[in-house]
């Protein structure tokens, strides 16, 4: 039985094909302007990678920012549910999931089955999201994917006082003009954003170990370390791309839906 999880976000689109609890193929692409185009391309690529066709797929669950624009989805689920499910599948001991995406950030508490027990999220301000880092990378003239390594070279991290993206960008430009080292500024940005994320996590109550992070920002080693420092607990890392967690969770939910619809469960 082949199932698919398709996660169309604001910056990337992800798709995962699973069969009998195994991942057969997984693809991450840069999102297109139109979510339906992102969904079509990532689906075409994940099927091609597995040597399959759409007719081979039993059920598809769509999730993410653009989930309502996935025309081939049989079912839609929120990214909160999917990220919780996906992370807990890889790391059964995890009870707290931090998902930092391009447009929002979420803190999710799950039980031993990956079911969401409680959550809080921020989608009103970009300061705790991937967009914050994207804007700062542009202001500093560095590549977004290089920020993690840059922060590792910090010698005297600066303190960023502004959390608003617009004011923080102005502050960063002033720091550059004052001769502050780029690695020190980047490390300061990571720490500022990490404290914002930590406040979000504390919104779901006392931090329960284990804690894991999903989403594209989890690939940033500087951000990862800064969040560990801000929370005061180590983050558990799954043996998979953190950007795929939502798509994996969606595929797992697709498999559960097929099982529920099978004749033996009627």
Name the H helices within the chain: 35-50, 79-90, 130-140, 147-152, 165-177, 182-202, 221-231, 245-261
Strands 235-236, 211-214: pairing is parallel
Q: What is the pLDDT of residues 138-177, one digit of tens each?
A: 999 999 999 999 999 999 999 998 777 888 899 999 999 9
Domains of the chain, CATH where assigned: 1-91+239-266 (3.30.420.40), 93-237 (3.30.420.40)
Q: What is the pLDDT of residues 35-93, one digit of tens each?
A: 999 999 999 999 999 999 999 999 999 999 999 999 999 999 999 999 999 999 999 99
Mean pLDDT of the residues in the chain: 92
According to DSSP, the residues that pair with 12 across neighbouring strands are 30
Q: What is the pLDDT of residues 89-111, one digit of tens each?
A: 999 999 999 998 877 889 999 99
Tell me which residue has tokens 């690939």.
219
CB 72 within 8 A of CB 59: no
124-141 as b/e: b if 16+ CB within 10 A: eebbbbbbbbbbbbebbe
CB 118 within 8 A of CB 109: yes
**pLDDT bucket at 126, cuts 50 / 70 / 90:** low
- Structure token pair of residue 56: 């081979």
pTM value surpassing 0.85: yes
The conformation of residue 159, written as its DSSP 8-state character, comes to: P
């Amino acid at each position: 039985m082949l199932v698919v999880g398709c996660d169309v976000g604001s910056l990337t689109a992800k798709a995962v094909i699973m069969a009998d609890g195994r991942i057969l193929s997984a693809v991450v692409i840069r999102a297109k302007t139109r979510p339906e185009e992102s969904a079509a391309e990532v689906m075409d690529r994940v099927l091609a990678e597995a040597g399959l066709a759409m007719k081979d797929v039993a059920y598809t669950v769509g999730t993410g920012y653009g989930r309502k624009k996935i025309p081939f989805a049989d079912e839609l689920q929120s990214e909160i549910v999917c990220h919780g499910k996906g992370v807990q599948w890889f790391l059964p001991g995890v009870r707290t999931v931090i998902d930092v995406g391009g447009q929002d950030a979420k803190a999710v508490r799950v039980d031993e089955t990956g079911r969401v027990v409680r959550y809080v999220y921020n989608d009103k301000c970009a300061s705790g999201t991937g967009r914050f880092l994207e804007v700062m990378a542009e202001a500093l003239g560095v590549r977004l994917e290089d920020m993690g390594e840059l922060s590792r070279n910090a010698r005297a991290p600066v303190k960023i006082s502004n959390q608003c993206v617009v004011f923080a960008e102005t502050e960063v430009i002033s720091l550059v003009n004052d001769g502050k080292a780029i690695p020190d500024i980047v490390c300061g940005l990571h720490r500022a954003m990490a404290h914002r994320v930590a406040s979000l996590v504390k919104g779901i109550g006392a931090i329960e170990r284990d804690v894991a992070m999903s989403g594209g920002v989890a690939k940033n080693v500087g951000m990862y370390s800064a969040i560990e420092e801000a929370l005061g607990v180590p983050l558990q890392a799954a043996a998979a791309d953190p950007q795929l967690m939502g798509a994996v969770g969606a595929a797992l939910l697709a498999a559960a839906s097929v099982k529920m619809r099978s004749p033996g469960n009627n």
